Amino acid sequence: MARKRQSQTPVLIVYVLSMLISVAIFGAVALVLLNVFVTQPKLRREAERNSASTVEEDTDEEYDYAAARETILFAGEDGGKINFIAVIRVLPDLKTIRILPVSPYTLSYVSGVEGTVDSLFETGGMTYLKQSVENAFGITCDKYIKISNDGWSSFVDYLGGTQDYYFPEELYYKNEATGEITSFSQGSATRTLYGDDIRRIMTYPMYSGGSEARVRAVGELWASLINSACTYNSGSVVGNIQTIFNVIFNNSDTDITTRSFTEVREAYEYIVSEAQTPATYRLPTGTWNDSGYFTASDEFRAELQTYFELAEEASVLE
C-alpha cells in the first residue's frame, strides 16, 4: 500500500515566520544602534550648537559698552624724557573718544613734592607722572602707556597715519644731536603724516606760540589720527587690533595686560567700526607763568568732568 505524501506547508510557514522574526529582531537592534550611535550624537551636537549660538547672542545683547569706559594716560618717551602727553577718554557707549593734550610743563604735585609733570616723572617714573596728571586736572587714569619712538611709529603706521592736518606756520628744525630734520610748509598737509612725522610736529621746539602751540598740535593730531583710522582704515584697524595691542605691549611701559585688553577689545572694535569721526579734543585753559609753566584753572577742571562724562559716571555709581 503506497504511503501518503506529507504536506510541506507547515515547514514553509515555520521557515517564513522564523525569517520574519529574525529580520524584525535584527531591524530592532539596528534601529537601537542607529539611535545610540548616530541619531542621539547628532541631536546632541545640534543642541550644543544651538546652545553656543544662544550664549553668543545673549553675550552680544548683554555686552555693556558703558562698563568698558576708561581713561588712559598716553605718553611718548625719548631718551628717558617725556616728549608728549595725552589723556585719552574712551566712551564706547557714546561711540566717542575725547582727548586732553597735556603740556609736560603743567604744574602739579605728588606726595607733597611739587613741580612740573615731566620733572615729577624724572623723580618717580610713570607712577608719579600718572598721579601728577590726575592731581593737576582732577581726574583718575585707569591705565597708562609710555611708548618709545619706535613703538609710536609702528602704532601710527597700523592706524594708517593722517593727512587731515593744517600747519599753522612753517616748521623747520634740525636736531643737532640726532641729525633729524623737521620741515613742513604752512597750510594743509600735502601727504600722509606717519609716526615719525607726527612725533616731530608734536615736539617741535620752535613754535611761535611756544608750549601752548605744542599742546594744541598734540590734541589736533591725536584727534585727526583716530578719526582718519575710523573713516578710512576701520577694516584694517579692526583686523589688526591684536597686533596693535602687541605693538603697544612690546614697545612701552604699560599696566595694560592681555586680560584687561581682552575685556575691552569688543568695545574698541565697536567704536572703530561704527563711528567715523569719534575723536575730539579739549585744550586745557588756565594760566601760563613767566617761566612757561602751566596751571589748570578750577573752571577747566570742572569743565573736564563734564567733557569726560565723569560727573554722569559718578552719579550712576552713587
User: Is residue 52 included in any domain, yes or no?
Assistant: no
User: Is residue 44 included in any domain, yes or no?
Assistant: no
Q: Which amino acid is at 218?
A: V
User: Is residue 18 included in any domain, yes or no?
Assistant: no
Measuring CA to CA, which residue among 221, 154, 233 is closest to residue 193?
221
**How many folded domains does the chain comprise?**
1
Q: pLDDT tens digits, residue range 240-253? A: 999 999 999 999 99
Q: Are 221 and 165 in contact (CB under 8 A)?
A: yes
**Domain residues for 273?**
67-317
**How far is Cα of residue 21 from the mean position of the Cα atoms in its chain?**
70
User: Is residue 116 included in any domain, yes or no?
Assistant: yes
Distances (CA, A) of 270 to 88, 212, 273: 17, 33, 5
- Lowest mean per-residue pLDDT among 45-49, 269-273, 275-279, 297-301: 45-49
| CA-based torsion, 114, 119, 220, 313: positive or negative | negative
User: Is residue 19 included in any domain, yes or no?
Assistant: no
Q: How many CB atoms lie within 10 A of CB 144?
A: 21
The pLDDT value recorded for residue 311 is 77
pTM over 0.85: no
What average pLDDT does the segment 200-207 reach?
97
The pLDDT value recorded for residue 236 is 96
What burial class does residue 127 get, using C-beta atoms within 10 Å of its C-beta: 0-12 exposed, 13-18 middle, 19+ buried?
Answer: middle
Q: How many CB atoms lie within 10 A of CB 283?
A: 14
| Strand partners for 189 | none
* pLDDT above 90 as % of the chain: 76
Cα distance between residue 61 and residue 80, in whole Å: 45
The pairing of strands 96-102 and 279-281 is parallel
Q: pLDDT tens digits, residue range 168-185? A: 999 999 999 999 999 999
The pLDDT value recorded for residue 62 is 76
Q: How many CB atoms lie within 10 A of CB 167?
A: 16
| CA-based torsion, 66, 224, 139, 127: positive or negative | positive
Residue with the larger pLDDT of the pair 47 and 260: 260
Whichever domain contains 85, its CATH number is 3.40.630.190
User: Is residue 33 included in any domain, yes or no?
Assistant: no
What average pLDDT does the segment 146-151 reach?
96
User: Is residue 272 included in any domain, yes or no?
Assistant: yes
